[in-house]
Amino acid sequence: MREEHMQQVKRWALYVKEHPEEWKQKLKKFIDAQIIIARRAYAKLAKTEQGREKIRIIRQMKGGTK
C-alpha cells in the first residue's frame, strides 16, 4: 500500500473526527456521484445489444459470498 495514500486516509479521518457536521455534505456529493454515474453506465449498457446479458454476467461475477 502506498504510504502517501495511507497518509491521505489518515488526514481525511482526522478531518471527519474534528468536523462532525461538515464532512457529511462533502461526502454526500462523492458517494451520490459514484452511484449516479454507475447507474447511468448500467442504463446505457442495458439499451445496447446484449446489454442485459452483460449486466447479468457482471452481477454473476459479484456473486454471492459465503
Partner 1 sequence: MERKVEDKTILDKFLEDFVNVVEKHCKYIVVSGFVAIAHGRSRGTEDIDMIIEKLEKKQFILLHNDLIKARFECIQSENPEIIYEDYLIKNTSVRYIRKGEFLPEMELKFTKDELDDLQIKERIKLPFTGLDVWFSSIEMNIAFKEEYLKSDKDIEDAKHLRIIYGKEIDENKIKRIKDKINKLRMKK
- The DSSP line for 21-53 is THHHHHHHHHHHHHHHHHHHHHHHHHHSTTHHH
Which 1-30 residues touch partner 1, going by CB under 8 A? 1, 5-6, 9-10, 12-14, 16-17, 20, 23-25, 27-28, 30
Which stretches of the chain bind partner 1, using CB under 8 A?
Answer: 1, 5-6, 9-10, 12-14, 16-17, 20, 23-25, 27-28, 30-32, 34-36, 38-39, 42-43, 46, 55, 59, 62, 64-66
